[in-house]
Structures are given as structure tokens and as C-alpha cells.
């Protein structure tokens, strides 16, 4: 069964981009939409004012109807960082999110909401801090361990519908361990798709999928700090969508000490980010 889209908003204006993107995605991939509105604590002084969700829902319904999107509406009370993951667990959704408009001091003390949501939500997440449509250029980060496969699969579907160009990116971090695979990657980093390494095989498989789907795809490699190099490529390539796997797709002990690259990128990226945990078919 095809997953529906769960689009969440707390009424903050910054979530509108995610609603608009979700409507486009629902049309492109022929999916149903559940629009979840989270009613958070309001100031007693604003109790008689129009609730922000009323305006957002009215606009969203008008847009869904205009684009013939099948939708349902749901409102829940509580904290968005708790309500959204709880709702997401109820079905096989692709979760579409935008910035929740948290005060700067709260972000400093507790971190950005997207980090918590990525940790708690098992389903694929499309985070839309800025609207980038039409979709023309997609960047897919290939790590070589297969964690990106689920996100890559969804990205390929999106690319087929919009005929977007795909770039497969692998970052070679500074190597502090002397073992054969690392040496091969470091030596042949400009021709990784030709190597018999995990990342080389992943790149060839992704290129083959893109070719079979009639898509234009190319491979890029960069050396350096992973987060910094991803952001540099996003800026230089002016991509409309960034796709990454999630560290939480791993059950290994490595996730206990390795940085969550996807969350770090989501903290600072302005283009939409599609992240998904790896799931074996």
C-alpha cells in the first residue's frame, strides 16, 4: 500500500512552504494527504483572537481542492514535538515538516525541533525550510553503507515525475585508519563508481536505477569534513532537493558516538531535505 503524506503545522507561517510542497508531492505521486494541525498553548490574552490554524487550514483546503488532492484534516492539542511523532507512528506515512517557529532561546537550550523529530519519527521525513519548486536538480548523498537506499528510492520517484536531474554525491572524510578499502577510496576518489568498494557498488546501482528510469544522473565526490562539503555542494550546485539516509537506520554501536550528519545538515540547510531510515524490503 502506498504511504500517505502526513503534513504537520502548528499554525506558524513558516510551515506553509511544507504544506505547499506536500500538495505538489501528493499530486506528483498520487498520494492522499492528512493535514495535522497542532494546537499549542496560547497566551490568555490571545484567547479571543483567530487561531493561526484557522487561516492555515482555510488556505490549505483551498489549495488541495484546486489541485484535486484527496485530503483529511485532524487537530490535536499538545506540543508539536510530541504530537507529530505520535501521529506518525499510527500509519505508513511520508512526514512533511517545516520550521515550527521556536524562539531563539529555546533552540539554544533544547536544540532545533527538526533534530528531535528526526530521532523520534521512523518514517521518511521531508523537511521544507524553503520552497524550491519546480524540482529540477536533486542531490543524493551516497555513504556506501546503504542507509540512503530508502530516501534514494523516493527521490527517484520524484525525479521521474518532474524529470529532474540527479547528482550522486560521496564525501571522503579525512582518513585516520590505514586499511585497504579506505586507501582505495582515497586514491581513486575521482572515479569511485569504477572501484570495487561498498560506495563504488552503491554508486553503480544508483546510476543503473536512474538509467532504467530514463533519468539524467552523474557522480560527484568531494574530500573534507562531511557536513561542510555537503553544504558547499548544495550551495555551488543550487539544488532543489537534498536526499540523505539517517544515522538512526543503523542498529550498530557506531550511532552512539558518530555525529548525526543528516540532523547537522538540516540545522543549517535552506533547501528541502528528504531523509529516511534504511528498511530491508
Digit-coded pLDDT (tens) for 124-154: 999 999 999 999 999 999 875 656 688 888 9
Greater confidence (197 vs 71) lies with 71
Greater confidence (122 vs 194) lies with 122
Give this prediction's pTM.
Answer: 0.87
Question: Is the Cβ–Cβ distance between 128 and 272 less than 8 Å?
Answer: yes
pLDDT digits (tens, 9 = 90+) for 8-66: 999 999 999 999 999 999 999 999 999 999 998 755 544 445 678 999 999 999 999 99
CA 171 – CA 164 distance, rounded (Å): 22
> What is residue 142's predicted lDDT score, i.e. its pLDDT?
86
CA 263 – CA 268 distance, rounded (Å): 9
> What is residue 50's predicted lDDT score, i.e. its pLDDT?
61
> What is residue 41's predicted lDDT score, i.e. its pLDDT?
73
Which of helix, strand or coil describes residue 212?
A: helix
> What is residue 109's predicted lDDT score, i.e. its pLDDT?
67
Q: What is the mean pLDDT of the chain?
A: 85
Greater confidence (188 vs 270) lies with 270
Q: Any idea which fold 5-127 has?
A: Rossmann fold (3.40.50)
> What is residue 98's predicted lDDT score, i.e. its pLDDT?
96
> What is residue 106's predicted lDDT score, i.e. its pLDDT?
75
> What is residue 280's predicted lDDT score, i.e. its pLDDT?
54
Which of helix, strand or coil describes residue 165?
A: strand
What integer is the mean pLDDT of 195-222?
A: 88
Return the percent helix, strand and coil in the chain, to nearest 5: 45, 20, 35
DSSP state of 163: T
* Percent of residues, the chain, with pLDDT higher than 90: 55
Q: Any idea which fold 137-276 has?
A: Rossmann fold (3.40.50)
CATH 3.40.50.620 residue window(s) in the chain:
5-127, 137-276
Amino acid at each position: 500500500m502506498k504511504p500517505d503524506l502526513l503534513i504537520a503545522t502548528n499554525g506558524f507561517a513558516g510551515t506553509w512552504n511544507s504544506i505547499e510542497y506536500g500538495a505538489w508531492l501528493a499530486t506528483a505521486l498520487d498520494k492522499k494527504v492528512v493535514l495535522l494541525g497542532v494546537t499549542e498553548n496560547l497566551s490568555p490574552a490571545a484567547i479571543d483572537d483567530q487561531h493561526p490554524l484557522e487561516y492555515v487550514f482555510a488556505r490549505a483546503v483551498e489549495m488541495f481542492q484546486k489541485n484535486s488532492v484527496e485530503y483529511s484534516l485532524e487537530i490535536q492539542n499538545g506540543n508539536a514535538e510530541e504530537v507529530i511523532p505520535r501521529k506518525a507512528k499510527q500509519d505508513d506515512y511520508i512526514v512533511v515538516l517545516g520550521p515550527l517557529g521556536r524562539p531563539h532561546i529555546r533552540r539554544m537550550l533544547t536544540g532545533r525541533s527538526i533534530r528531535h523529530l528526526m530521532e523520534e519519527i521512523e518514517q521518511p521525513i521531508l523537511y521544507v525550510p524553503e520552497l524550491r519548486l519546480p524540482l529540477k536538480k536533486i542531490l543524493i548523498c551516497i555513504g556506501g553503507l546503504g542507509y540512503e537506499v530508502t530516501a534514494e528510492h523516493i527521490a527517484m520517484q520524484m525525479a521521474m515525475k518532474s524529470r529532474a536531474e540527479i547528482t550522486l554525491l560521496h564525501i571522503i572524510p579525512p582518513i585516520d585508519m590505514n586499511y585497504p578499502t579506505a586507501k582505495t577510496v582515497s586514491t581513486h576518489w575521482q572515479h569511485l563508481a569504477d572501484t570495487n568498494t561498498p560506495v563504488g557498488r552503491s554508486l553503480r546501482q544508483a546510476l543503473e536505477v536512474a538509467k532504467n528510469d530514463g533519468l539524467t544522473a552523474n557522480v560527484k565526490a568531494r574530500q573534507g569534513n562531511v557536513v561542510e562539503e555537503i553544504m558547499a555542494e548544495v550551495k555551488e550546485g543550487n539544488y532543489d532537493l537534498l536526499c540523505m539516509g539517517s544515522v538512526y537506520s543503523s542498529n550498530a554501536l557506531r550511532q552512539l558516538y558518530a555525529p548525526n550528519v543528516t540532523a547537522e545538515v538540516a540545522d543549517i540547510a535552506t533547501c528541502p531535505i528528504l531523509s529516511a531510515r534504511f528498511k530491508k524490503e
